[in-house]
Amino acid sequence: MKARLLHRIRQGVAKIANVPEEVVWTYFCDLPPENIMEWGHIMPPLRDTMPNDDAWLKELSGPFREYVQQLA
């Protein structure tokens, strides 16, 4: 799946930038959630669906909590 995504990114960027595909470089940087901080909080473990972790959500300020809940 990642290989297909890399190819599609390369094709899209090359087309939009009007450059040869060979000059487009793309890197994936897979980070575990414990190495990511967003909104001032370490991200919860990955799940099959959007996290519904009440403890994690309660730590967020009101506006950010509402925004994250809308993403679910």
Q: Which two tokens stand for residue 40?
A: 């001032």
Is the Cβ–Cβ distance between 42 and 34 less than 8 Å? yes
In the three-class reduction of DSSP (H, G, I as helix; E, B as strand; rest coil), residue 10 is classed as: helix
Q: Does 60 score more than 90 pLDDT?
A: no
What 3-state class would DSSP assign to 42?
Answer: strand
Does 7 score more than 80 pLDDT?
Answer: yes
Q: Where are the domains of the chain?
A: 1-29, 31-72
- Tens of pLDDT, residues 14-59: 999 999 999 999 998 888 888 988 878 888 777 654 555 677 777 7
Instruction: Tell me the pTM.
Output: 0.50
Distance separating alpha carbons of residues 7 and 29, to the nearest angstrom: 16
- Cα separation, 17 vs 10, in Å, equals 10
Q: How far apart are CA 71 and CA 15, in angstroms?
A: 31
